Amino acid sequence: MLAMRRAFQLITAALLLTGCASYERQTHSFRGAWNGGNTQKAAELANVQVYDRSDSRDGVIWLLEQGAALRANDQLPESTYAFDRAEKLMQHYDSQAKVRVSKETTALVVNLSTVPYEGRGYDRVMLNTYQALNYLRLGQPDAAMVELRQASDEQDAELI
């Protein structure tokens, strides 16, 4: 019995580490370009990932990465569009049932990377903050105020 429990623990650990390794492989080139200050390359790599994965379980995270990279590369309209898409995808996840026991249980047993990244509260606050900064740079202060109010609402929701 102890041997079976130990084998189950080892298999579970191996599967969990596989999910982490997969994410590391997917983001390696992007992170290298971003950390090296090559925002043009980071934006290009994010664009490819979004094209390949925007409708997948990685959609939210890659749209957020794309928005940030495009913003850093001073491509503000494109950045705003990426952040809008990320926000819509997060809202889509919000509209679904909060408890998905079977999916999440399966993910724990099989692989955590099977559960979509839905965005955290801090992602939402930063998304709206970046959007506000984009709108200010684009000369749209009213749109920036809307985004700042949304960021404040998101932050308040996280504190409750």
Residue 117 three-state SS: coil
Class of residue 10 by CB neighbours under 10 A (exposed 0-12, middle 13-18, buried 19+): exposed
Q: Return the CA Rg of the chain.
A: 18
Check: pTM over 0.85? Answer yes or no.
no
- The domain total for the chain is 1
Does residue 73 sit within a domain? yes
Average pLDDT of span 7-34? 62
Domain that holds residue 40: 2-119
CA dihedral 60, 97, 129, 150 (to 10 degrees): 150
pLDDT in tens, 38-65: 999 999 988 888 887 656 678 898 999 9
Does residue 111 sit within a domain? yes
Does residue 39 sit within a domain? yes
Does residue 124 sit within a domain? no
pLDDT for 27 equals 80
From residue 73, alpha-carbon distances to 68, 111, 160 in Å are 9, 35, 36
